[in-house]
Amino acid sequence: MSYVPLLKRMDRSDTSRLNSLAQEFKTAKPFPHLVMDGMFCDSLLNEALQAFNLDHVNNINVFQNQLQSKRSTSTKSVMPAAIQRYFDIVNGAPFLRLLTRLTGITNLLPDPYFYGGGMHEVAGQGHFQVHTDFRYHPHTCLENRLALLTYLNHDWKPEYGGQLELWQKNPTRPVRKIVPRFGRSVLMLQSPDSWHGHPQAARTGYLRRTLITYFYTAPKIKADRTEQSTIYLSNSRQSTMQRAEIFVRNIIPHFVIDTARWVRHRKRKQNFR
């Protein structure tokens, strides 16, 4: 069973839907984003909602000040199994490839510790003023590139408040308001211009629940090629041929080895045609 219907389209020749979503993300205002209903199947999200109880989760964060009022899991929290299943899916390679297809951002990396993400709950009168998110992960130093929010609020109406607002800075105003209905996912580019929040308080008596995760890329640095290859240790237990190959690997420039691998790969592809 596929919990993410869009993943099925990745293997089809007809990719018009994916092309349309990618264009929508690229051109969205006030910054690149997508709003998708039904990105995940209802059974997965209903099970997550049934397990969503921060009172039963260890080590939660409580934010209560003038700028935000909410609770969330921390990097030390143990997620309920049904919610962990959702995060396992969005952190897996197939989903990361889907995100690359939608956003054009390559080599995306997940954060299995959910820094800043996880389970978020806003109770009545809870809010989060307009802000931009952290640019770099404080522990891994990876660059924050995307945020994914999935809402778990059945029958949420605009008059309940708590709408996600996407703002522009000049002039300062909200450009889009998104009702946090059940099964709705929002994928947002992370940048200094990605102003967002839900400044309008949620109505008393209602719980606004969200699953949030961030995706990263590594800093673009020029690494030493010797640090990107497997290094073998020559020893007396190896055959003459094994030691000879290790010797050759250590003295031949890496670009020669890479070229040889590319040629072998091309020949294999031609043999299978």
On average, the pLDDT of the chain sits at 89
Any idea of the CA torsion for 143, 146, 151, 152, to the nearest 10 degrees?
A: -50
CA separation, residue 182 to residues 39, 153, 208 (Å): 11, 4, 10
| pLDDT for residue 270 is more than 80 | no
Which candidate, 256, 228, 252, 232, places its Cα nearest to that of 243? 232
pLDDT digits (tens, 9 = 90+) for 64-109: 988 999 999 999 999 999 999 999 999 999 999 999 999 999 999 9
pLDDT digits (tens, 9 = 90+) for 229-251: 666 677 888 889 888 887 877 77
Q: What is the mean pLDDT of residues 44-57?
A: 97
Provide CB contacts within 8 A for 233, sequence distance 6+.
246
What's the pLDDT score for residue 227? 53
pLDDT digits (tens, 9 = 90+) for 188-230: 999 999 999 999 999 999 999 999 999 999 987 665 555 556 6
pLDDT digits (tens, 9 = 90+) for 22-36: 999 999 999 999 999
What's the pLDDT score for residue 124? 86
Which candidate, 22, 29, 129, 18, places its Cα nearest to that of 69? 129
Q: What is the mean pLDDT of residues 160-168?
A: 95
Which candidate, 165, 160, 132, 162, places its Cα nearest to that of 147? 132
Contact between residue 148 and residue 215 where contact means Cβ atoms under 8 Å apart:
yes
Q: Mind listing the domains of the chain with CATH numbers?
A: 5-217 (2.60.120.620), 225-271 (no CATH)
What's the pTM? 0.84
What's the pLDDT score for residue 132? 94
What's the pLDDT score for residue 136? 94
User: Percent of the chain scored above 70 by pLDDT?
Assistant: 86
